[in-house]
Structure formats: structure tokens, C-alpha cells
Amino acid sequence: QKEVEQNSGPLSVPEGAIASLNCTYSDRVSQSFFWYRQYSGKSPELIMSIYSNGDKEDGRFTAQLNKASQYVSLLIRDSQPSDSATYLCAVKTGGFKTIFGAGTRLFVKA
């Protein structure tokens, strides 16, 4: 069974701090990795994609990928209360399917 594991949280950080969200996956041949943000009662929204080892930055968000360790992370710099949401890690396996983690709840305290 291919799996994507995330700490369910909640992760609580003060406003302005860096939030670090982590994800591990089991399928070594995975090539595409995604982070989604989901506000309560809303659908998931894609915020970052990463396909190669290293860091990818987009505004306050940085995705990090280490395929050797089968590890993906998302850093949110200068966290804001509006960043409070559940963050889903997703990994595309072979074929057309994408496996989603259960999500990490993030609370940013003002």
C-alpha cells in the first residue's frame, strides 16, 4: 500500500514565525509532489508543486524535496493568521493516481 504520512497536528506558531510542515512517502518511484491548502469547509487549493530535489520558492512558501530520504516539506515564512488551515501533502504515483496525506492542521496565533 503506497502511503503519504503527515503529522496531523495541530501545529501552532505565532504570527510572523516560520511554519514547517513535513511529509514522508513510501513509493520510491514517485516523481511529482504537491502541497494543498484547505480552509475549513472549503475544497483543497493547490499552492506548490515540486518535481526535483532541492528547494522551490514562491513568495512566502518554500517547498523542499529530498527523494533519497522520501521526504517533502513546506515552509511558510512570516506566517499570518490567514495561513491557518489544513495543509495536504500529495504524491503522484505511477499512472494517473495521486495519493493524499491526511493533512496537518496549522494555527497561526495573532
Partner 1 sequence: DVKVTQSSRYLVKRTGEKVFLECVQDMDHENMFWYRQDPGLGLRLIYFSYDVKMKEKGDIPEGYSVSREKKERFSLILESASTNQTSMYLCASSSNLGVQGYEQYFGPGTRLTVT
Say whether residue 90 binds partner 1 (CB under 8 A): yes
Say whether residue 22 binds partner 1 (CB under 8 A): no
Contact pick of 12, 14, 16, 45 for partner 1 (by CB under 8 A): 45
The answer to whether 77 and 70 have CB atoms below 8 angstroms apart is no
Burial class (CB in 10 A: 0-12, 13-18, 19+), 72: buried
Distances (CA, A) of 30 to 12, 55, 87: 30, 17, 20
Say whether residue 40 binds partner 1 (CB under 8 A): no
Say whether residue 32 binds partner 1 (CB under 8 A): yes
- Kindly tell me which of 25 and 44 has the beta carbon lying closer to partner 1: 44
Q: How many CA atoms lie within 13 A of 80 on its CB side?
A: 4
Window of 13-21, 36-44, 60-68, 69-77 that interacts with partner 1 by CB under 8 A: 36-44
Q: How many CA atoms lie within 13 A of 51 on its CB side?
A: 0
Name the site residues for partner 1 (rule: CB under 8 A): 32, 34, 42-46, 49, 51, 88, 90, 92, 96-98, 100-103
